[in-house]
A and B are shown apart, each in its own frame.
Chain A
Amino acid sequence: QEPLTASMLAAAPPQEQKQMLGERLYPLIHSLHPSMAGKITGMLLEIDNSELLLMLESPESLHSKIEEAVAVLQVHQISEASHKSN
């Protein structure tokens, strides 16, 4: 698969741009967190496209963002669970 470039993205309509980025991010996220991959990808797609492109080029920054998303999700799930039990 050829690398995604800023000019390729710019040529696509905005909604498709997120889909294109998601298609690149999803397999990487799925290899780390299979059960939460769709959710994590959705969270990361709210970040600016330019920043997402940088992450695709830098596995280290992508990984730290993925771990951040996992942490946010876990806190969210715990707070949801405690709301239900109260």
Chain B
Amino acid sequence: KKSTLNPNAKEFNPSKTLLSVNK
């Protein structure tokens, strides 16, 4: 079956608190 997911979807930006470990 064909996927309903859209490759042009807007990228999600996580809050800085979540990413702080990687920065």
Give the interface size bracket for B toward A.
Answer: 10 to 19
A46 contacts B18, C-beta separation under 8 Å: no
Q: A44 to B3: give the CA distance in the assembly, Å.
A: 12
Indicate whether A14 reaches chain B with its CB closer than 8 angstroms: no
Q: DSSP majority for the B interface?
A: loop
Identify which of B3, B9, B12, B15 contacts A68 (C-beta below 8 A). B3
* Cβ-defined contact, A26 with B18, below 8 A: yes
Contacts between the two chains (Cβ within 8 Å), count:
50
* Residues 1-23 of chain B, each 1 if its beta carbon lies under 8 Å from chain A, else 0: 00111111111111100100000
Contact of A38 among B4, B14, B15 (CB under 8 A): B14
Q: Are B14 and A22 in contact (CB under 8 A)?
A: yes
Contact B12 A38 (CB under 8 A): yes
Judge whether A56 is part of the interface by a CB distance below 8 angstroms.
no
A73: chain B residues at CB < 8 Å are 7
Interface flag for A43 (CB, 8 Å): yes
Alpha-carbon gap, A10 to B14, bound state (A)? 21
